[in-house]
Amino acid sequence: MAEKPTGPELILGPAGDYYFFKAEILERITRTSPLEYDFIYFLPVKRAVRYFKEQLIAASPRRILPDPPIFTFYDFMTAFYRQIPGARKIISAPMRLFLVEEVLKAQADQLRFFSEHSAQRRGLVKKVEATLQELREYGYSSAELLEAVEQGDSRYHDFALLIDRFEAILGDRLIDEAGAIQQCLARLTPQFWQEHFPGVETIYLNGYGLYSRPMLEFIARIKEVCRIRIKLDYLPDRPEGVFEHIRPAYQALIKLKPEVSYSR
């Protein structure tokens, strides 16, 4: 029986093979049942996911594999959400943009920072939608944003208003990606994870230069029941220059108290 993990493993080093864990994953595939996988691999973009799946199939003995568990983090979380009993229908990105535009129009007379003409500016609507999505993804409620209004920034007032109206439109039948991820995280306990993914021994992540709040919370919630191996293209003794933009990710991951090692 494998030892119970005590925390994530953080491998630091310069950028190398984009699919850093390829050899280890191939070894897992060859020694386990072809109908079951004991790992999940997170990559930053869908293109990388598709390409790595093709590589695994090409490298398999018979060039045939059940769909390998390779995902972007957000695609995995939305797929995970759909498995939860009572899951709502997740709206598409275009529908989310449309709804934000409608909310801006409907609430125009109550906005302080944005104007009644904001909904007519397509570029601004997209920026508002992206910010709204990020706030919801990070779990901020309208009440939390209203607390910040006292600091004199009217944007908080407007986004609190927009979040309330947006959630009212979604109702009890619809949800957006950010809401789905928050619903998953709210339920994600070690027991809940083991009930849904009892055969998963290891989660791999690499290629990420940014670890969002949901990603960090996900790691923190299951780090003691599932081995988590992270490769970060970063060298702490060279924090400036080429590695500078990775420093926030390094600092956030270090707070999870990982076992740190270095790649060659």
> Per-residue pLDDT tens for 155-166?
888 899 999 999
Q: Give the CA-trace dihedral at 210, 44, 125, 77, to 10 degrees.
A: -100
Which band of pLDDT confidence, cut at 50, 70 and 90, is reported for residue 10?
Answer: very high
- What pLDDT digit, counting tens, does each position of 118-142 carry? 767 878 889 999 999 888 888 888 8
Mean pLDDT of 20-42: 86
Residue 224 to residue 256: CA distance in whole angstroms: 11
Angle at CA of residue 81, ends 53 and 210, nearest 5°: 60
**pLDDT of 67:** 87
Res 42 pLDDT > 80: yes
Largest CA distance in the chain: 64
- Give one word for 219, left, alpha or beta, with left for phi > 0 and alpha for psi -120 to 50: alpha
Residue 256 to residue 237: CA distance in whole angstroms: 20
**pLDDT of 107:** 87
Residue 3 to residue 227: CA distance in whole angstroms: 9
**pLDDT of 11:** 96
46-59 and 22-31 helices, crossing angle to 10°: 50
Question: Within a 13 Å sphere around the CA of 203, how many CA atoms are in the beta-carbon half?
Answer: 24
**pLDDT of 97:** 92
Res 89 pLDDT > 90: yes
- What pLDDT digit, counting tens, does each position of 172-195 carry? 999 999 999 999 999 999 999 999
Q: Give the CA-trace dihedral at 26, 31, 37, 43, to 10 degrees.
A: -20
Pick from 35, 81, 113, 110: which is nearest to 185 by CA? 81
Res 223 pLDDT > 90: yes
**pLDDT of 2:** 55
Res 4 pLDDT > 70: no
Which band of pLDDT confidence, cut at 50, 70 and 90, is reported for residue 1?
Answer: very low
Angstrom CA distances, 101 to 97, 126, 226, 227, 230, stand at 6, 9, 41, 43, 38
Whole-number mean pLDDT of the chain?
88
**151 exposed, middle or buried (CB, 10 Å; 0-12, 13-18, 19+)?**
exposed
> Phi and psi at residue 132, in whole multiples of 5°?
-60, -45
**pLDDT of 82:** 95
Residue 63 to residue 43: CA distance in whole angstroms: 22
Residue type, 103: V
Res 240 pLDDT > 90: no
**pLDDT of 219:** 97
